[in-house]
Amino acid sequence: MDKNEERDILRIENLNVRFETEDGVVHAVNGIDMKLGYRKTLGLVGETGAGKTTTALAMLRLVPNPPGVVECDRLEIDGQDVRGMSASKLEQVRGKEISMIFQDPMTALNPVFTVGEQIAESIEIHEHLSKEKALEKAGDMLELVGIPRQRANEYPHQFSGGMKQRVVIAIALACNPKLLIADEPTTALDVTIQAQVLELMNELKEKYDTSMIMITHDLGIVAEVCDDVAVMYAGRIVEQGSLEEVYGKTMHPYTEGLFNSLPNIKNRQAMLKPIHGLMPDPTNLPEGCAFAPRCNYATEECKKACPALRNVGGTHMVACVRYEKDPNFMIDRRKQNG
């Protein structure tokens, strides 16, 4: 193994996930490559149905089968091949090496156990500590996320939404995972609480040297917590790169469309420029670029073949035919940003 590869916590090559249902085959994820360095945070951005959550579940091997079928050439977490892992080995990896925070804190906690017990449970399993020691550590974890340790004996319904999400974060971080996958962790929360939770996650990430994948539809959150960004559309990554590259030198028309759909807080007169049309039906993806039917820059060329993700300098990758044909091609956002 060469040194370069060792530095990645996560390596995925050619990940495909499809769901075989009665109504047809849903192509949820179509050939995704992903690489995440230690202590890095990747923002996985896209709309409903883009395949963000499915990608994350595939990393944890949590895609239900049937109907889900996962295929990939490589899936390594911290240098370990996860693909052929036995169920018991997998359980060790989940929680200890990689753990996940789900969107809804209301359903992620078991209502019949105290929050202390729930945090202690995963510590007990993964760190082989006695019950008392685990509960002790659970108290530490609660303090870490800003909840007084006396509240460890309370039940989830006694906590507010923001507090519950803190508990969920405490559970996810209890065993110092090397990789944390957060699936829309703040969508169910109010803005002021969201700000606090994001801040907390930023702090903890630094403290524990955790790498993170932040799944979100909110470009503002990405700007706040992520180093790298991958934009997904119809199960593919259409643009990828560092935050500076994707936000500062946006290249893909879909990414531009996302930015244009957001109200500009500094200029309230600015008209919104929504992306017209709808996301394609994942059972029946178009032959060429999946975004072509909604794209203002689309040409005949775009409808023919699906563009591959190509490097355009630095770590910046984009999947758009127009750049292949014309190196000087520019989308409007680029022209404005100079």
Partner 1 sequence: MADSKEMQLRASKLYKKRSSFEMVWRQLRRNKGALLGLALLIIIIIGALIAPIVYDYDTDVIGMNVRERMQWPSARHICGTDDLGRDIFARIVYGARYSLAVGFVAVIIALIIGTALGAAAGYIGGVFENIVMRVCDIFSSIPSVLMAIAVVSALGKSTANLMLAVGIASTAPFVRVARAAVLVVRGEEYVEAARAIGQPDWKIVIVHILPNCLSQIIVQATLRVGSAIISAAQLSFLGLGVPAPAPEWGSMLSSGRLYIRDYSYMTLFPGIAIMITVLSLNLLGDGLRDALDPKLKR
Partner 2 sequence: MADNILEVKHLKKYFKTSRGMLHAVDDINFTLERGKTLGLVGESGCGKSTTGRVILRLLEPTDGEIIFEGKDISKLSKSEMRHMRKDMQIIFQDPFSSLDPKKTVSQIIAEPIIENKIIKGKLAREERVLELMDTVGLAERYINTYPHELDGGRRQRIGIARALAMEPKLIICDEPVSALDVSIQAQILNLLKDLQKKLGLTYIFITHDLSVVNHFSDDIAVMYLGQIVEKAPAEELFDNPVHPYTQALLSAIPIPELGHQRQRVQLKGEITSPIEPPAECRFAKRCLMCNEEVCKKTVPQLIEISPNHFVACPLKQKELGFNV
Q: Where does this chain bind partner 2 (CB under 8 A)? A: 47-48, 160-161, 190-196, 198-199, 217-224, 243-244, 247-248, 257-265, 268, 270-276, 278-279
**Of all helices (H) and strands (E), which one includes residue 317?**
strand 317-318
21 binds partner 1 (CB under 8 A): yes
Q: Does 160 bind partner 1 (CB under 8 A)?
A: no
26 or 225, CB closer to partner 1?
26
Give the integer Cα–Cα distance in Å for 139 and 59: 30
Q: How far apart are CA 274 and CA 234, in angstroms?
A: 18
Q: How far is the CB of 108 from partner 1 (least distance, A)?
A: 19
Dihedral sign from CA coordinates of 107, 112, 114, 119: negative
* CB 26, min distance to partner 1, A: 11
Q: Which of 2, 3, 4, 22 contacts partner 1 by CB under 8 A? A: 22
Q: How far is the CB of 53 from partner 1 (least distance, A)?
A: 17
- Which among partner 2, partner 1, none contacts residue 67 (Cβ within 5 to 8 A by kind)? partner 1
Q: Coil, strand or helix: which one is 47?
A: coil
What are the φ/ψ torsions at residue 53 (nearest 5 degrees)?
Answer: -65, -40
* Residue appearing with tokens 């995704």: 32
Give CA 325 to chain center in angstroms.
31
State how far the alpha carbon of 170 is from the alpha carbons of 96, 143, 201, in Å: 13, 9, 10
- If the CB atoms of residues 16 and 196 are measured against partner 2, the closer one turns out to be 196
The closest alpha carbon to 95, from 173, 166, 210, belongs to: 173
22 binds, among partner 2, partner 1, none (CB under 5 to 8 A by kind): partner 1
Q: How far is the CB of 49 from partner 1 (least distance, A)?
A: 16
Residue closer to partner 1 by CB (options 67, 79) is 67
Which residues here bind partner 1, judged by CB under 8 A?
A: 21-22, 67
